[in-house]
């Protein structure tokens, strides 16, 4: 038998992405700017995650941007949860010169935040940038390789796994197995999260 036989054992292996559950509350926050109310909602969600039997959360970088690293770390601990992974979005497909100027330091800070929260996994998610349609698929992958390389090298000194997700956006031409393999083969230490969706 590969899988554990009871729910408790299975749930001890599973973390959950809870940030999407905040969508309506973030919309309300955009209007009322009541950060304390949003913090209470967030803490309630963490409590629900724990009550449901999960070991931790797959955390979006937006969570620490909104609430602050210290608050998030403290509320995770108070609810008996871990940050299983830290998910960071950026324009990884822009030219390497632009990435170094605009994004590299932020990406490195994301790795540092992942370590501070105790996450063993840093997930790098490329976001399509304005003008991406003007680049060829091979240019996009060349940029992904150039930009993932220094971030992965730095992050690997801080966390166990640096991963990317296939098919984050069709415009990134990072969907077919051959496209993903080209990037993984050229970025030392980078691993794959397979998103079957």
- The mean pLDDT of 116-123, rounded to a whole number, is 96
pLDDT at 10: 47
Does residue 68 surpass a pLDDT of 90?
yes
- Within 8 A by CB and 6+ apart from 122, the residues are 85, 86, 88, 110, 111, 114, 155, 158, 159, 161, 162, 163
Cα–Cα dist 75/118, whole Å:
13
CA distance 146 to 99: 9
Q: Is 194 helix (H, G, I), strand (E, B) or coil?
A: coil
Least confident among 6-20, 62-76, 104-118: 6-20
For 131-152, write each residue's pLDDT tens digit.
999 999 999 999 999 999 999 9
Task: Answer for the pair 42, 71: CB distance below 8 angstroms, yes or no.
Answer: no
Alpha carbon separation from 156 to 33, 64, 137, 144, 148 (Å, rounded): 37, 21, 27, 17, 12
Reply yes or no on whether the pLDDT at 9 is more than 70.
no
Q: How confident is the model at residue 172 (pLDDT cuts 50, 70, 90)?
A: very high
pLDDT band at 2 (very low <50, low <70, confident <90, very high): very low
Q: At 175, is the pLDDT very low, low, confident or very high (cuts 50, 70, 90)?
A: confident
Which residue carries 């609430």 as its tokens?
Answer: 67
Banded model confidence at residue 8, pLDDT cuts 50, 70, 90: low
3, pLDDT greater than 50: no
Q: What average pLDDT does the structure give for the chain?
A: 91
Summarize the confidence of residues 39-56 as an average pLDDT.
94
Digit-coded pLDDT (tens) for 74-112: 999 999 999 999 999 999 999 999 999 999 999 999 999
Q: Is 11 exposed, middle or buried (0-12, 13-18, 19+ CB in 10 A)?
A: middle
């Amino acid at each position: 038998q590969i899988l554990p036989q009871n729910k408790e054992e299975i749930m001890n292996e599973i973390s959950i992405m809870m940030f999407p559950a905040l969508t309506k509350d973030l919309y309300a926050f955009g209007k009322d700017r009541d950060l304390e109310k949003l913090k209470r909602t967030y803490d309630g969600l963490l409590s629900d995650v724990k009550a449901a039997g999960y070991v931790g959360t797959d955390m979006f970088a937006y969570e620490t941007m909104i609430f602050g690293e210290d608050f998030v770390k403290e509320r995770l601990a108070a609810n008996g949860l871990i940050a299983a992974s830290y998910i960071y979005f950026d324009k990884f497909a822009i030219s390497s010169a632009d990435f170094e100027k605009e994004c590299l330091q932020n990406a490195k800070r994301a790795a540092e935040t992942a370590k501070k929260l105790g996450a063993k996994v840093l997930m790098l998610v490329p976001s399509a940038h304005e003008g991406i349609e003007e680049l060829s698929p091979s240019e996009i992958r060349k940029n992904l390789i150039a930009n993932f390389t220094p971030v992965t090298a730095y992050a690997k000194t801080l966390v166990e796994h640096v991963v990317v997700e296939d098919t984050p956006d069709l415009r990134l031409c990072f969907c077919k197995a051959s496209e993903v393999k080209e990037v993984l083969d050229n970025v030392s230490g980078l691993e794959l999260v397979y998103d079957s969706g």
